[in-house]
């Protein structure tokens, strides 16, 4: 029996030492120490031993059981520790790996141009005014000296919603809205108004049924055409370069008298004549003029005491000229191959 115990011990220790995972180890525990295992079997046979032998063999059997139990426990501790170690190694976060970059968007080219112009005027003490895109006929036309049936209304084909409301064809109605509310006790009027406008046009490379405008209006005592020219010269140089010249050409708008159109010397050829300026050396940039006395009066401003200038320009035109964009639709169709060329990383 002692030999049997010794053999069992040798075999079991060998097997336990070779185990590589916790499940197999548990199987061995059941195999050697379980109720149906050889240890139980040996204990059962102890009854057959003589009274002298019994305690000796019993002590050795207990010793073997204890040795096996300890061996299993040790192996279990070792395998458990190895398992945790492997798991930790697996789940380690490598803090030196590059992170997932969050791509920040940037303003659209048109937004960039509008914001650049806004910044310039804010720097000169202007505030930004806004008005509705669904506008009353009164503000879009009548208050701007374009009574019903005035032939100049044809210059701007309109989307009418009702007889008296339409999608504004220009940002000029904001002039009338600002003037009728203004109190000169708070200082002069100095506003710009960027916004969307709509015209019943067929879309092509240079026309769009929806586009943007920036309106400007200054009203105070003693405002003259010289103030207009000075202001617009600053604008031209800021947007198209310091060495730009400016010229004013007589024009017609119902809401200004006199009316002028402003040209800048061609930024491409410097005035010699090229494709951009169509050989003239000059590029038309915007319409403007001195606010018509009728317009001032209709909005409740004394035209004997106050005078003003106004201008209206198209940011699309500025963007297209500045960046040689050959089709206005590029500004609206959001083809990323186009828009990404103008992304500015801040
Ligand atoms: N509203 C005009 C247009 O859409 C542009 C314009 C011209 C605005 C002269 C003005 C101005 O304020 O004085 O064609």
Partners of 253 in beta bridges: 256
Give the per-residue pLDDT at 43: 78
Contact 287 CB / ligand 1 (< 6 Å)? yes
First-to-last alpha carbon distance for the chain, in angstroms, is 87
Whether the CB of 173 sits within 6 Å of ligand 1: no
The whole-number pLDDT of residue 4 equals 81
Q: Which pLDDT value is given to residue 75? A: 86
Answer yes or no: is pLDDT of 238 > 90: yes
The structure tokens listed for 59 are: 């002590």
pLDDT at 107 over 70: yes
Asked whether the beta carbons of 131 and 169 are under 8 A apart, the reply is no
**CA-closest candidate to residue 307, choices 291, 320, 318:** 291
Tokens for 61? 């059997």
Where do runs of H (alpha helix) occur along 53-104? 53-91
Confidence at residue 146, expressed as pLDDT on a 0 to 100 scale: 93
Run of H or E including 264: strand 256-265
Per the CB < 8 A criterion, the answer to whether 169 and 144 are in contact is no
Q: How far is CA 148 from the centre of its chain?
A: 43
121: three-class secondary structure by DSSP: helix
Query: 213 C-alpha vs ligand 1 centroid, how far in Å?
Result: 9
| Average pLDDT score over residue span 66-84 | 87
pLDDT at 13: 85
Find the 254 Cα to ligand 1 centroid distance in Å: 9
Written as six digits, the tokens of 89 are 């190694």
**The predicted structure's pLDDT at residue 346:** 57
Average the pLDDT over 258-262 and give the result. 97
Best residue for ligand 1 mutational test, from 197, 253, 292 (most atoms within 8 Å of Cβ): 253
Is residue 312 lining ligand 1, measured as CB closer than 6 Å?
yes
pLDDT for 59: 84
Decide: 256 in ligand 1 pocket, CB within 6 A: yes
Can you tell me the distance from the alpha carbon of 193 to that of 154, in angstroms, rounded to the nearest whole number?
A: 23
Whole-angstrom distance, CA of residue 195 vs CA of residue 214: 7
Q: CA-to-CA distance for 247 and 47, rounded, in angstroms? A: 126
Question: What's the pLDDT score for residue 15?
Answer: 84
pTM of structure = 0.72
Mean pLDDT of the chain: 91
Asked if 211 and 314 count as a contact pair (C-beta separation under 8 A), the reply is: yes
Q: Ligand 1 within 6 A of 310 CB? A: yes
Residue 345: per-residue pLDDT? 62
Predicted pLDDT of residue 32? 85
Q: Which residue has the higher pLDDT, 289 or 99?
A: 289
Question: In this predicted model, what pLDDT tens digit does every residue of 176-208 receive, in sequence order?
Answer: 999 999 999 999 999 999 999 999 989 999 999
Dist. CA 242 → ligand 1 center (Å): 25
* Peptide bond preceding 188 in cis form (omega within 30 of 0): no
Nearest CA owner, ligand 1 atom 8 = 312
**Tell me, what's the pLDDT at 8?**
84
The lowest-confidence range among 89-103, 237-251, 269-283, 327-341 is 89-103
Q: Within 13 Å of residue 98, how many CA atoms lie on the same side as its CB?
A: 3
Site to probe by mutation for ligand 1, drawn from 196, 255, 295, 314 as the one with most ligand atoms within 8 Å of Cβ, is: 255
118 is in an annotated binding site: no
Q: With pLDDT > 70 as the criterion, what percentage of the chain qualifies? A: 99
Q: How far apart are CA 51 and CA 324, in angstroms?
A: 113
DSSP classification of residue 299: T
Residue 149 pLDDT level (bands cut at 50, 70, 90)? confident
Q: What is the pLDDT of residue 265?
A: 92
> Does residue 287 have a pLDDT over 60?
yes
- What's the token pair of residue 150? 């005035």
**Crossing angle for the helix pair 109-123 and 225-240, nearest 10 degrees?**
140
**Ligand 1 close to Cβ of residue 261 (< 6 A):** no
Query: Is 288 a pocket residue for ligand 1 (Cβ < 6 Å)?
Result: yes
Find the mean pLDDT for residues 68-75: 87
Contact (Cβ atoms closer than 8 angstroms) between residue 264 and residue 244 = yes
Q: Is the CB of 172 under 6 A from ligand 1?
A: yes
Pairing of strands 134-136, 210-220: unpaired
Residue closest by Cα to atom 7 of ligand 1:
287
Pairing of strands 210-220, 159-160: unpaired
Higher pLDDT, 217 or 76: 217
């Amino acid at each position: 029996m002692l030999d049997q115990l010794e053999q069992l011990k040798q075999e079991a220790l060998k097997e336990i030492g070779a185990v590589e995972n916790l499940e197999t180890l548990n199987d061995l525990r059941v195999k050697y120490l379980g109720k149906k295992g050889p240890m139980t079997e040996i204990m059962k046979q102890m009854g057959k031993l003589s009274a002298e032998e019994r305690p000796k063999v019993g002590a050795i059997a207990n010793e073997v059981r204890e040795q096996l139990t300890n061996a299993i426990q040790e192996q279990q501790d070792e395998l458990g520790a190895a398992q945790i170690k492997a798991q930790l190694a697996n789940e380690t976060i490598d803090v030196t790996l590059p992170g997932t970059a969050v791509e920040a968007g940037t303003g659209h080219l048109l937004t960039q141009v509008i914001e650049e112009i806004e910044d310039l005027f804010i720097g000169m003490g202007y505030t930004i005014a806004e008005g509705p895109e669904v506008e009353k006929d009164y503000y879009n036309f009548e208050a701007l000296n374009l009574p019903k049936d005035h032939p100049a209304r044809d210059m701007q084909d309109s989307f009418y919603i009702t007889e008296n409301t339409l999608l504004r064809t220009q940002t000029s109605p904001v002039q009338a809205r600002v003037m009728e509310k203004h109190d000169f006790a708070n200082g002069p009027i100095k506003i710009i108004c960027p916004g969307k406008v709509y015209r019943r046009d067929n879309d092509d490379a240079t026309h769009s049924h929806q586009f943007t405008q920036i309106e400007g209006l200054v009203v105070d005592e003693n405002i003259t055409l010289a103030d207009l020219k000075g202001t617009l010269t600053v604008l031209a140089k800021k947007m198209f370069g310091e060495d730009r010249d400016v010229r004013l050409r007589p024009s017609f708008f119902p809401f200004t008298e006199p009316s002028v159109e402003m040209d800048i010397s061609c930024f491409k050829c410097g005035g010699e004549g090229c494709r951009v300026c169509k050989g003239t050396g000059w590029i038309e940039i915007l319409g403007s003029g001195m606010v018509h006395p009728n317009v001032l009066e209709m909005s409740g401003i004394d035209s004997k005491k106050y005078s003003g200038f106004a201008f209206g320009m198209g940011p699309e035109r500025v963007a297209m000229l500045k960046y040689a964009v050959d089709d206005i639709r590029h500004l609206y169709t959001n083809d990323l191959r186009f828009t990404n060329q103008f992304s500015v990383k801040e």
